[in-house]
Structure 1
Amino acid sequence: MKKIVILISGRGSNMQALLAAKPGCTIAAVISNRADAGGLAFAQSHGIATAVVAHRDHPDRESFDAELARVIDGFAPDFVILAGFMRILTAGFVNHYQGRLINIHPSLLPAYTGLHTHARALADGVKIHGCTVHFVTADLDHGPIIIQAAVPVLENDTEDTLAARILNEEHRIFPQAIRWLCTDQIELNSAGRVINRANTSVNAALISPALE
């Protein structure tokens, strides 16, 4: 069975969704850059090893990423999963885990990379918004897409109401993507394209370029 390490910075709601979904892998550890991240206690309560690599203890991104990689590699994971990990990672770190580093982002990439995605979508008056699970590359929020889910933007939406509906979709598609990875149905080939061997009828409500 494949092993994953999950990185979080806060409550870890996507981590909790992964645990609940039982995505066909072993969660070797949950690691945070913040000692006060609520998700650490949740992981511990489920018997999962945890660790803290505090970014404030390091003088620069390179030294932080080097220590983070050292701790991650101690658990020998097949994949490293960013589940609300609020740090921009260096190219060296990303390249170390090439094809094995996965992120979930609260927009329909390539639209609205970076932060404050819901506020920006509302300000632009878009009619469709959503979330994306993708492989991480050194180009921030531009890695090959595994799966996406879309939601309509309603006339009376606020940032909070839109975020809540999209979070429900994150909790739905994130476990699916990790299940595909851990059962060898998804991989990133040498050309940087997502290869998906999953049954294309898995769920017609999921928007997935990998299934086209």
Structure 2
Amino acid sequence: MTKPKLVVFASGTKDGGGSGFENLVRASKTGGLDAEIVAVVSNNDHGSVRERAERLGIPFIHFDPSSYSNVLKNLGIGDSSLGNVYRAIVRDSGAEWVALSGWLKKVEGLDPRRTFNIHPALLSQLSGRFGGKGMYGKKLHEAVKAAFDAGEISESGFSMHFVTDELDRGPVFFEHRVPLKKAMTADEIESAVRAAEHEWQPKITNMVMHGDIRWDGRDTKTLTVPSWLRLSA
């Protein structure tokens, strides 16, 4: 049976990042994720994501939404709208599904039924305080720490949700909570959340790609999650 095809979008940096992408690739090779990862896309041409891709034998695509003339030339498309470029990249890769894993750029035009994101905080907390513009990286975990130190929260975690054109507002289908301890630094919070992400992301990704978790892309009432899988694990 042919495995479903997945393209991963991961920003990374020159010096780090991309561990979620690598974790998905390794899971696909050991059976934890029943999928073929056909490519990885990064907005950093020379960085950790490319290094991981080359080491793992996964095709690498450089795409910076703020400057993508190289992509237009390579794909040979006339419509230069951002949404059309995203769609062309996915189509050209041969992917049926899109996973955003540390992708820090705005997404437009992708099929919300087949595009999903992992966010390193609980989007349900404090009326969505830890989602939206600017909520990524160290700034995000420092905001979580500040809320914890102020007694507003006792845990962090991560969320997985379908992706719409509105940042971090697609329906959440899974959250995993990570207890916080007194005197934890922002870096320690980030490490604890990342460890939980690496454990759960392949499992939940597999459920999405095989239809156990699904959404019609329009009405949040149509979001389907197995009854045994709680929204918050």
TM band (smaller chain):
0.7 to 0.9
SS in 1 for 2:224: strand
Q: Which residue of 2 aligns with 1:195?
A: 224
SS in 2 for 1:172: helix
Deviation for aligned residue 1:147: 1.3
Q: In proportion to residue count, which structure has more strand?
A: 1
Question: Aligned-pair RMSD on alpha carbons?
Answer: 2.2
Separation in 1, partners of 2:182, 2:188: 11
Contact preservation (8 Å) 1:6, 1:27: yes
Deviations 1:73-111 (A, max 9, x none): 112322111011110223xx2xx3121111010111133
Q: Which runs of 5+ in 1 are unaligned?
A: 202-206
Which structure 2 residues correspond to residues 162-181 of structure 1 after superposition, within 5 A? 162-181=189-208
Q: Which residue of 2 aligns with 1:204?
A: none
Which structure 2 residues correspond to residues 1-212 of structure 1 after superposition, within 5 A? 1-10=3-12, 11-22=17-28, 23-58=33-68, 63-90=81-108, 93=109, 96-110=110-124, 111=128, 112-114=130-132, 115=135, 116-125=139-148, 126-189=153-216, 191-192=219-220, 193-197=222-226, 200=228, 207-208=230-231
TM-score if structure 2 supplies the norm length?
Answer: 0.77
SS in 2 for 1:80: strand
Contact preservation (8 Å) 1:18, 1:175: yes
Alignment identity in percent? 24
- State how many pairs are aligned: 198
TM-score if structure 1 supplies the norm length?
Answer: 0.84
Contact preservation (8 Å) 1:147, 1:173: no
